[in-house]
Every structure is written in C-alpha cells, then in structure tokens.
Amino acid sequence: MRAWAVTGPRPVEEEPLRLVEKPVPVPEDDELLVRVRACGVCRTDLHVAEGDLPVHRPGVTPGHEVVGVVAGLGRAVSGFAPGDRVGVAWLRRTDGTCAYCARGAENLCPASRYTGWDADGGYAEYTTVPAGFAYRLPGGVDDVALAPLLCAGIIGYRALRRASLPPGGRLGLYGFGGSAHLCAQVALAQGATVHVMTRGEASRRLALELGAASAQDAYASPPEPLDSAILFAPVGDLVPVALRALDRGGVLSVAGIHLSDTPPLHYESELFYEKELRSVTSNTREDGREFLVLAARHGVRATTHTYPMSEAPRALRDLKAGRFDGAAVLVNDLS
C-alpha cells in the first residue's frame, strides 16, 4: 500500500514526509484492519513531523483522526464485521491494569500508546486499531465531517471539562483552530458566553459566525473577566496573558500536547485569588464516547477544508501557516 512516512523530523517546508510503499498491516489478534477513507489533519501531526514530539517509531505514518471501514479482523475480535464504519483516534492502547486505568484515568497510563506516533496512522491506504479503542460512528454524517471530531473534538471536550466552566459561565478560548471551534460549539450549546482570542482574521470571523460574544487578537484582553479559559495555541507566552484575564477562582486549561516555554509567572497578578493552571493529557475512551453523543445531540459540525491524501504535505504547511480556519481533512486518493 502507499503511505506517508516521516523520513526525518524537520520543518514541514523541508518536506519531512515522503510517500512510500509499505506492506498492508496485518491486524494483531485483538485488532481491526481499517481501510482509510478520510483522515483529519491535527497539529500533533505537525509536531511529529517537525520533531517537537520525540521520535517513537522511525518512519512512522502520521494521522489519528481516521474514518474508515473494517477490512479485516484479528482472530480474537467480536462485535465488528467487514464493512462497518469506524473511527480511529489518538489513544491507541493502554495496559488496562495500572492504578490509573483502574481509577478511570487511562489517559495517564504509563504504558499508553498512540496512533500516528507509536504505531502507523491514517495518512495511508490502511491502518490498524485495537477493537476496544475503535469508535462506532453515527449515521447521517459524512466521513469528512466526522474526521476532526475524533481528536480535535474529543481533546477539546476534555479541555473544556478540565477548565471547570460553571453553568452559564464566561469562557475564553486562546487560538481558534480545529479543536477550539468544536469546543466552542459545545460550550455555547451548554449556555456559556464565549470570547475568542486568536491571531487569524478568518478564525475571528468564524468564531463570531458560530456565536462567540467577541473575537479579538490573541494578546488582547477579553471584554469581561473569564471564569475559565482554554489555551489551544501552542504558545507558552499566552499562559500569563490568559491567567491575567481570569476572574477570581478561574481555571486555565492548556489543551496541547506541546507548548513552547512559558515566561516566569507573577504570583500576585497571575495566580493569586485561587486561580488554577491545569494541563490536559490525551483523553479517555469515555471522553470520546461522551463527546460523540453530545456532538450528535447539539449538531456540532466541523468547518472543514479538504485536501487529497496525496497532498498531505501541503495540508501540513497550510496548517502551520494558518491558511485556513476550522480543520483540514485528507480524502484518500492513494489507492
């Protein structure tokens, strides 16, 4: 099969991805073989390609927002059949036995493994996924619309939960890409007032179209104090900016897997009055199932820009440059 591989981490302008031939993967006993139909383009793919995330698998195929159909079953798999439409997300496998898994925090499992980082992902004709980590997808929604929900949507939902937004609260979103624009829709449906701080004019327009109360530059102050904030942009300089925007007792949730270094924090102006700074690490499968139900209930839809899978490097370059609002999705044309 044809697949994209990270031949050596470097800036995407220097073409770290190369289209190669790989064998069609053979599913392990507990896995599904999935024929990829669409795959969302996540900022984490950019971090893997450019080396912000250390190499876990040389020549890895990125991609972890996969919509596809079951093409084969491992010997121990039940409950799935060839032709079923499934989703493949970032969290690929945990040990299921550690203290974190036992208490429902499988996202913190030290043995966790990830699609498109520890195992080949969806920038390819086929991928595999442990059956227990595959998502059953709702009908009535096309592949392109579903793909960004499988990471951008799920991680945004976990970040919203970590932000402890009170009912009817004031939420600030820093950065407004694939994850934030889905998170905003959930928060708005739940009655929040949403303020968006982001660098891109197109993203600010999208925020207002979706119902945000305001949209301004990333470093600007929102028009009112915030009960909660989520930092989606991987920019450490924004941490103190967001903390200063919080009201007393407010919470800042940092959603990204990678963040540039943060400047020193000033206790009196940025952390006093019981403000909290929290990180987000991956997600649990329960997060994913809850989010997909909420997305269907509230009509959460991704604003998408499609690229042929054969042009995956261009999609990553455009993501880095901020050339589109919403999310990019690769439609498979490799076969």
Q: Which domain holds residue 273?
A: 154-279
Does 314 lie in the same domain as 187?
no
Please give the mean pLDDT across all residues of the chain: 96
Does 160 lie in the same domain as 130?
no
Long-range interactions of 309-314: CB distance < 8 A, separation 24+:
309/4, 309/36, 309/39, 309/123, 309/333, 309/334, 310/19, 310/334, 312/4, 312/17, 312/41, 312/123, 313/4, 313/12, 313/15, 313/17
State pLDDT tens for residues 16-56: 999 999 999 999 999 999 999 999 999 999 999 999 999 99
Does 123 lie in the same domain as 96?
yes
Does 202 lie in the same domain as 121?
no
Asked whether residue 287 is domain-assigned, the answer is: no
User: Considering the entire predicted model, what is its pTM?
Assistant: 0.94
Asked whether residue 291 is domain-assigned, the answer is: no
Given the structure tokens 């989520």, which residue do they identify? Answer: 230
Does 257 lie in the same domain as 196?
yes
Does 162 lie in the same domain as 36?
no
Asked whether residue 142 is domain-assigned, the answer is: no
Does 172 lie in the same domain as 56?
no
Does 201 lie in the same domain as 320?
no
Asked whether residue 22 is domain-assigned, the answer is: yes
Mean pLDDT across the stretch 248-260? Answer: 95
User: How many domains would you assign to the chain?
Assistant: 2
State pLDDT tens for residues 280-305: 999 999 999 999 999 999 999 999 99
- Residue 139 pLDDT class (50, 70, 90 cuts): confident
